[in-house]
Structure 1
Amino acid sequence: MTTTLPSQALPPQVKPSTFALSSKSPTDLAPEIIALPVIPGDDELIIGPGSADLGDRHDLLDHLEFEGATGSAGEVTSYAVSGSGALRQILLVGVGAQRRDDFRRAGAALARAVRDRSGVVTTIPAVDPDVALEPFVAGATLGSFLFHWRSEGAPWTPVETITLAELDADRGDDLARAVAIARASWRARFFASVPSNLKNPAWLADQAAELAESTGLKLTVWDEHQLEADGFGGLVGVGQGSVTPPRLIRLDYSPRKAGRLSSLKGVPTVVVIGKGITFDTGGLNIKPGDGMVNMKRDMTGGAVVLAVMSALAEIGCPVKVVGLIAAAENAISGSAMRPGDVVTHYGGRTSEVTNTDAEGRLVLADAMAYAADKLKPAAVVDIATLTGAVRVALGQTLAGYYADDEGLATLLEEASEVSGERLWRLPLVADYEEKLASKVADADNAPGGPGSITAALFLHHFTGGVPWAHLDVGCGDAYADVHDLTPGPTGFGARVLLTWLAEQDPLAGVGA
C-alpha cells in the first residue's frame, strides 16, 4: 500500500555559471575582474596570455614576488585596481605544471574567489586550450556547487558569467561539451544532496520523467506491483519495509546520427546501472547513528545515471544507452526484510539475506539480470556507493572498479585520467568465490571480507556473460572545499562515464 507523505518543496537553488567565448583580449572586454594564469618558470614566474596589455600600468610580477606567490595550481593572488575605469581587480591564478588536474584546480580556485560577482574574464584556458578547456570548465563549475535548504536563501551564489578570452569561436563545440559534462556532475551532486524527507523512489522517478521530457529520452517505470509480478525479488525485498515503495527506472537514449564504429556492426547498446537507495538505515541490521547521517546520498549511483542520461545527446554519444536505476528505501518496520530471508532475483537466482545492510547488491543484481536478459547489451557498467570496505582501502579521493573485460577496463582507465575522477582497478579474485556459499540459497549476500571484492563477485553472477565493469564509489562524501569538491555528496562518476561515452567508439576493444 502506498502512503502519501507530507508535501515538501525545495527553496530556489543556485545555478551554475554560464560560459562565453571571446577572441578579444581581457582589457578589450572592459570587465570588472580579470583572471590571468601564473606559470612557474625556471627562474621566475611568468604571467600568461592577456598580461601584455596590463603590464605597463600594473607591476604584477613585483606584486607576485611581494606576496610570495609560487604559481602552484589553484594559488590565487589578488591585485586591487584603482582608477576611473571598469576594472577593479586582477586575480593571478597559478596553473602549476599545466596538466589537466592543474587547470581543474585553477578553475575551482577562481570560482571560489569570484562568488557573488556578476562576471569575470579569464585567459587561463588560453594557455593550452586542447588540455585546459574541459578541466577548467569542470573546476570552475563544480567549485561553486552549493545545495541549501535555508529559510533566508543561499549564503552565496556562483559568479554569473565566466568569459574565456583569447579563444577563437571554433572552440564552441569543445566548450559546449565541457559545459555538458560539468553540469551533469553538478546535477548528480544535486540529486545526491536532496534530503530523504523529500527524496524517495517515486520522487526519483518523477525527476527521471522531467529529464526524459526535456531531453527526448524514453522512460519506463516499474512500480511495486509490476516489480513483484515480473520477479524483481531483490528490489521488492529491500523496499518492503518502507512506506515509499521501490521503483525500477529505465531511460533509453538513441544517437541522432550513429557514428562509424570500428569494432561492431550497427549501433550497439551500453547499459549503465545505478544503485538508488534513497535512504539506508541498514534495515534490521541497523547502522549506528553516525553511519546513518549521510545515507541520503546512498543513491549516488542512481543520481549519476540520471545525470549521464541527461547529457548524452549534448556530448554526441554514438551508441545506444539504457540507464537503469534500482530505487528503494532500506527502512525498518514490521514488514522489513529480515536476516535469514531468501529473495529470488529477476531470472531466478536466489540470495540468502544474512545482513540487511548489504542491500545495494540485492537491487543491483535484479537490474543487471534484467539488462542481460532483455537488452542484449555490448557492455554493462554499474555504479554504486556499495561498500565501506573500498573507502577503507582507497580513502576519500578515488573509487575502486572491477572489470571482467580488458578492453572495457582500459577504456574506463583512460576516461578516468581525462575526467579527473580517478579509478583504481581492484581484482576479481576467484579464490574468494567460496565465501559466497549459502546453505539454503545460491549465494549469501554478506559473505564477509575482503568486503569490496566479495560484493563484486556476488554481482558478477548476474552479468549473463556480458562484458561488465563495477564502480564501487567509496568517495561519496566530501567534508571540505578541496579543489573541485565542495562539502557534501560528490556525485562521483558522471564525468568519467560521460568522458568514456563521448568517445568516437566507446566499445573499441570490448569483447575482443
Structure 2
Amino acid sequence: MPIETTPVLADAHSAHRAHGAHSPQSAHGAPGTHGAYGAGPAPDADLVAVPFGPGPTAPASAPWLESPVPVDALLAHYEAKGEPGEVVEVPTVRDGGGGVRRVLFYGVGDGSAAALRKAGAAVARRAKGRASLSVVVPSEGDGAALAEGALLAAYAFTVGNGRSKPVGEIVFVGGDERDLKRGEAVARAAALARDLVNTPSSVKTPAWLAEQAKAVAAGSGLGVRVWEESELGEFGGIRAVGQGSISPPCLVQLSYTPENPRAHVVLVGKGITFDTGGLSLKPTEGMKAMKTDMAGGAAVIAAMSALAAFDAPVRVTGLVACAENSISGSAQRPGDVITQYGGRTVEVLNTDAEGRLVLADALAYAHAELDPDVVIDVATLTGAAKVALGVNLGALYATDESLAADLVAAGEAGGERLWRMPLIEDYREMLDSDVADLANVDRRMSGAAGSIAAALFLREFTGGRPWAHLDIAGPARAASDEGEITKGGTGFGVRLLLRYLTAAS
C-alpha cells in the first residue's frame, strides 16, 4: 500500500490574492502551504519581519511598528549588529491598539544575495509553527534571494503526521514583485527536487520516477520519452545495473526547445532510486541514505521544470538514467563484462560503482544522437568527493575552461558552490582492463583518487564534446537544518543549473 507523503513549501501568489500556484505535489497530491505578496503586513499576521543593519533598512517608523520604545533604542538594547541571520524579536502594538504583535527585526548585512538568502531563511525558521508571517522586503538588494531563502527554509517533507510544522503563510511586503516571483520559481523547482529525493524507495521505483518526470513534462510544456525494458537493448549499463531488481530500469528524456535557441545543452542525471551496492554490498550505515542516490536525476527534472518560466534561451535535453541497484540471483557480478551504448566494453570490478555505468550509456547516447554543444552530468557519484570537499561544496570536473568558469560563477551566485577538481591524465591508466576496453574502477582496487577516476571514466563516453561532471555526493543530502537547507534531500544543483541555463537571457 502506498505511503502518504506530504511535501510542504510556504510559497506565494499575487498581491490581490487571486488563487496562486501551490507547492510541488507529492505522488498523492498533498498540497503545500501558501502565501502572498502585498503592499503592507497582513492585519492578522502572527509575525512581521522588518530588515535592519548596515545594509538597506526599512523605515524606522510605520503604523504597524507602534512601540513605546523607539526602534533604534530597541536594537541598541539588544546589541543588534544587523548581520545576516541575526533576528531580534520584540513585542509591538497591533494596528488600532487591539493587542500585541511580535516583530522580528532581521539583519541584512551588506544586502548581497548571499546575505539576504541567509536572512530570509532565518526569519522563516523563527516563524516555524506560526500561521502567518509578513516579511518587509529591503528597499535595495536582491528580493529574489530573500524570497528563495525564506521559502526553502519553510520546506518540510513528512510521512504521515510528521512533527515538522513550518510557517503556514508568508506575505512579502514591498520589493519588486518580478524579483520575488523569480525567487519563488527557483525555490519551487528546488523543492520539487527535494520531494523526489525524500520520497521513500518503497514508493520510488524507476517507473515511479519516470511517471513524475512525465507529470512535470505535462505541467511545464516539455517533450518526454521513456525507454522501458524491451527498448533498452543498446543501453547495456542501465540494463546491467537494474537486472538484479524486481523493478525494471528505464531511461527518461525531457526536451525543452525555445524559439531560435542559441545552443543545445544536454543535462544527464543519475537516477539510482535505491543503491544496495549490488553484490558488492554496502554496510547498513552506508545504505541508510541511499534513497537519495537519484539526487542528480532529481536536479535535472526539477531544473527542466522551470526553464519555460524563465524563458531560457537555449535548447535543453534532460536525460535521467533510472535503475535500482539491488541483489538477487540475477544481479550482475564482479568480473562481468558489459557493453555500453555505442559498443565500448566495461569490466565491472565493483558493482557498487554503478552510477557511472548508467551515466555512461546516457552520455554516449547524447553524443551519438543529440549533437549537443555542451554536456553536463550531475550525480551523487563517489564518497571520495565528500571526503575531499565535505558537505558544502560540489566537485566540478570539466574539459572546457569557459564552461567550468560559468558553472562556478552560477554556483556562487545561486548559493550552491562548486570546487574545480583536476582531470589528471596520469590516472587514466588505472581504468585499463585486461579483458575489456575499460574497468569501472581502479583495477588495482586501491581506492585512491576515486572521484577523479570516476570522472575520467565518464569522460570516455562524451565524444570529446565540451563536458562538465558535477559530483554532488556531499551537498545533495543534509543531516540537519542549516540556513535554507533542510534535513534530507537538499535539491543541490537546481539553482546553479537554472542560473547557468538562463544566464544568456
Q: How high is the TM-score relative to the length of structure 1?
A: 0.88
Which residue of structure 2 aligns with residue 456 of structure 1? 455
Aligned to 2:345: 350
* Matching residue's letter, 2:158: H
Per the alignment, residue 33 of structure 2 pairs with none
Task: Report the CA distance between 1:127 and its aligned residue.
Answer: 4.0
Q: Distance in 2 between matches of 1:306 and 1:93?
A: 34
From the superposition, tell whether residues 12 and 453 of structure 1 become closer, same or farther in structure 2 (CA, over 3 Å): closer
CA separation in 2, counterparts of 1:241 and 1:92? 56
The answer to whether the aligner puts 1:62 opposite 2:41 as a matched pair is: no
RMSD between superposed Cα atoms in Å:
2.1
In 1, are the aligned partners of 2:13 and 2:37 still within 8 Å (CA)? Answer: no
CA distance in 2, matches of 1:185, 1:87: 36
**8 Å contact kept, 1:16–1:183:** no
1:333-390: per-residue Cα shift (whole Å, max 9, x none)?
0110100001100000111100000000000000000001110011010000000001
Equivalent residue, structure 2, for 1:91: 104
Q: Determine helix, strand or coil for the equivalent of 1:52.
A: coil
Are 1:388 and 2:391 matched, yes or no?
Answer: no
Question: What's the counterpart of residue 439 of structure 1?
Answer: 434
1:55 deviates by 6.6
Structure 1 residues 334 and 272, CA gap change in structure 2 (3 angstroms): same
Q: 2:300 aligns with which of 299, 302, 305?
A: 305
1:13 matches 2:13: no
**Contact 1:249–1:324 at 8 Å: present in 2 too?**
yes
- 1:16-62: per-residue Cα shift (whole Å, max 9, x none)? 32255699864696744221112148xxxxx8214322376443333
**1:140 corresponds to:** 150
Q: Which residue of 2 aligns with 1:241?
A: 244
Query: 1:186-265 counterparts in 2 under 5 A?
Result: 186-228=191-233, 231-255=234-258, 257-258=259-260
Deviation string for 1:266-324 (max 9, x for gaps)?
Answer: 64311101000000001111111101000000000011111011111011111111110
Indicate the residue corresponding to 1:469 in structure 2: 468
Asked if residue 128 in structure 1 is aligned to residue 122 in structure 2, the reply is no
Paired residues of 1:103 and 1:135 also in contact (CA < 8 A): yes
Mapped to 2, the partners of 1:374 and 1:368 lie a distance apart of 10
Q: Does 1:36 align with 2:56?
A: no
SS at match of 2:73: helix
Structure 2 residue aligned with 1:52:
61
Residue 288 (structure 1) aligns with = 283
CA contact (8 A) 1:17 1:159 kept: no
1:432: how far off?
Answer: 0.7
The residue type paired with residue 39 of structure 1 is G
Distance 2:290 2:6 in 1: 23
Which runs of 5 or more residues in structure 1 are unaligned?
1-6, 42-46, 259-265, 506-512
User: What's the offset of the Cα at 1:202?
Assistant: 0.3
Cα drift, residue 119 of structure 1:
2.7
CA distance in 2, matches of 1:58, 1:164: 25
Match of residue 111 from structure 1 = 124
Which one of 403, 415, 419 corresponds to residue 420 of structure 1? Answer: 415
After superposition, the Cα gap between the structure-2 partners of 1:275 and 1:24, relative to the gap in structure 1 and judged at 3 Å, is: closer
Q: Distance in 2 between matches of 1:32 and 1:298?
A: 39
Match for residue 100 of structure 1?
113
Amino acid aligned to 2:84: A
Q: Per-residue displacement from partner, 1:162-197 (whole Å, max 9, x unpaired)?
A: 333232xxx333322221111111111110001100
Quote the residue 1:509 is aligned against.
none
- The CA deviation string for residues 425-446 of structure 1, in whole angstroms up to 9 with x for no partner, is 1011111111111101111101
- 1:33–1:87 Cα contact (<8 Å) kept: no
1:479 aligns with 2:479: yes
Alpha-carbon distance change, 340 to 89 in structure 1, aligned in 2, over 3 angstroms: same
* SS of aligned partner of 1:148: strand
Identity score, percent:
46
Q: Secondary structure at the match of 2:8?
A: coil
| 2:166 match | 158
